[in-house]
Amino acid sequence: MTAVNYPDADYGDRVRRARRVMEEQGIEALLLSVGSDLPYLTGYEAMPLERLTMGVVTATEASLVVPQLEAPRVADRGVFEVVPWSETEDPIDLVRRLMGPARRAAIGAQTWAGFLVRLQQAMPEAVFSDATTVLRPLRIIKDADEIELLRRAGAAVDRVVARLRASSFGGKAEAELAREVMVMTVEEGHDAATFHIVAAGPNAASPHHEPGGRIITAGDCVVVDFGGRLGGYCSDTTRTFHVGEPSAEYSAAFGALQAAQTAGTAAAGPGVAAQEVDRAARRVLEEAGWGEWFIHRTGHGIGLDAHEDPYLVEGNAALLEPGMAFSIEPGVYVAGRWGMRIEDIVVCTAAGRDILNNSPRDLAIVD
């Protein structure tokens, strides 16, 4: 795994705010392991390994239980007391002792089930809930430093798109182009490239296609959806390319898609229900006759995780607020034939919205 350099945020303030939410929700201990909740509070990301790493926050104490051999990786930010455990100690017992009398515990959603089972066996009287309820209200609103990292990550993927628009696709395998995208993602300033979808021709009808051996040829559409992490924060953009001129049908559908993406972006703003953004984009594709082929939600929140709250989906009536960051990414997928998607990251502001991806959104014609 690639070590991530988390920024120097005010972690003490984040812990204080988490404690306020814990108190409101009647939670006595917060237990965080693998996933982004722990680095959000500590600046340290647990290694996803069989040795337990766990942040333990109670009303008065904040401790970070780490395997002794990984303790040198922890940058001391003065908020958590680092508690290393040696190979012969039982880290579950250590967590139990750090919890003191606390028995109502919220545990990180991505903590390995095996650790939760061992905690439950060690404390049969404890009640565990999902810590997402504690961290969601904090993480969903990005501060100015977090938005700046999202903006820099967005600008970096835009530079990759510019390079892709000037390159030739024909004759390359999807997987080969995907590797090039990965390399460029790092060259343009990310700490790591994290995903890279390259889907050509009929494969483009599968939104999460795994790039494979298919050779890109004249007449193919190519959906490229990729991103990385910069200072812990994620980028995620999609642009659609076409090798040579598209058919009249494809052009018409792409025109509708672009209008849908613009409508979704225009709908986003403070006080707007998340589902209204989805409806605004979907309505355009429905009216153009492509609605049945738009088979996923319009967008997802983004931050330390590539997918997090808020989700722009029918049924989510929660109101958007300044500081929320999310994708707007409608697509059209005609099974067995072709696909297309356009995706930008957008931040809700007091005045409306700020678009963090600004590479051209038209259908890019390549060789």
Residues in contact with Zn ion by the rule CB under 5 A: 225, 236, 238, 327, 343
Least distance to Zn ion, CB of residue 306, Å = 7
Distance CA 25, CA 19 (A): 10
Least distance to Zn ion, CB of residue 145, Å = 22
CA atoms within 13 A on the CB side of 147: 18
- Which one, 146 or 225, has the nearer CB to Zn ion? 225
Element (H, E) at 107: strand 104-107
Distance CA 319, CA 154 (A): 24
- Which one, 238 or 357, has the nearer CB to Zn ion? 238
Least distance to Zn ion, CB of residue 168, Å = 23
CB neighbours of residue 143 within 10 Å: 12
Element (H, E) at 64: strand 62-67
- Which one, 46 or 285, has the nearer CB to Zn ion? 285
Both structure tokens of 22: 């814990």
Least distance to Zn ion, CB of residue 327, Å = 4
- Which one, 94 or 345, has the nearer CB to Zn ion? 345
Site of tokens 């040829």? 217
* CB 175, CB 198: distance < 8 Å: yes
- Which one, 64 or 147, has the nearer CB to Zn ion? 147
Least distance to Zn ion, CB of residue 349, Å = 20
Instruction: Give the neighbor-by-neighbor strand order of the sheet with 29-32.
Output: 81-85, 62-67, 54-57, 29-32, 104-107, 127-130
Least distance to Zn ion, CB of residue 302, Å = 7
- Which one, 45 or 225, has the nearer CB to Zn ion? 225
